[in-house]
Amino acid sequence: MTGERHTARCLCGNITLEAIGPAQYTEYCHCKWCQKSSGSAFMLWAVFDKDNVRVISGELSYFQSSEKLKRGFCKNCGSSMSIHFDGNFDITLGVMDNPEPFRISRHIWNKSRIRQVCIIDELPRFEEGGA
Ligand SMILES: [Zn+2]
Ligand SMILES: [Zn+2]
């Protein structure tokens, strides 16, 4: 599994990220910040250790969305690509070249979920951020 390699690209193609190894986990986030940042109902995050991710082309721009957390995006096309906090570098599944290997394990911020969006699964749902 250590040879697993994932690439992610923004809409205009200027920025490419490379992540090595399986994600620690992958989750739905229904928080208000992800909704505003993406313009959509939720975001899907693959969580990697920051040491396993590199920007291999282009340059991320950052928005500090809370004291501890910044969001990476492409300033040319506006794609939301990443979240950075503690030792993590999370990449959104929407920009992954191949999102298929990622098994989603949970929902967080269920309390701000957009109710009209119907997701039927047996995954654990946390009302706020998961532990
Ligand atoms: Zn771009
Ligand atoms: Zn979120």
How far, in Å, is the centroid of ligand 2 from the Cα of 27? 10
- Quick one: which ligand is closest to 45's CA? 2
How far, in Å, is the centroid of ligand 1 from the Cα of 130? 30
Where does the pLDDT of residue 130 fall: very low under 50, low under 70, confident under 90, or very high at 90 and above? Answer: confident
Three-state DSSP state, 36: helix
- The whole-model pTM stands at 0.94
All structural domains of the chain, each given as residue ranges with its CATH number in brackets, are 5-112 (2.170.150.70)
Can you tell me the mean pLDDT for 46-66? 97
Q: Give the model confidence (pLDDT) of 81-129 as tens digits.
A: 999 999 999 999 999 999 999 999 999 999 999 999 999 999 999 999 8
How far, in Å, is the centroid of ligand 2 from the Cα of 34? 4
Q: What is the pLDDT of residue 58?
A: 98
How far, in Å, is the centroid of ligand 1 from the Cα of 126? 32
Please give the Cα distance from 121 to 129 (Å, whole number): 19
- Quick one: which ligand is closest to 61's CA? 1
User: Under a CB-based contact definition with an 8 Å cutoff, are residues 123 and 105 in contact?
Assistant: yes
Q: Give the model confidence (pLDDT) of 24-42 as tens digits.
A: 999 999 999 999 999 999 9
How far, in Å, is the centroid of ligand 2 from the Cα of 45? 9
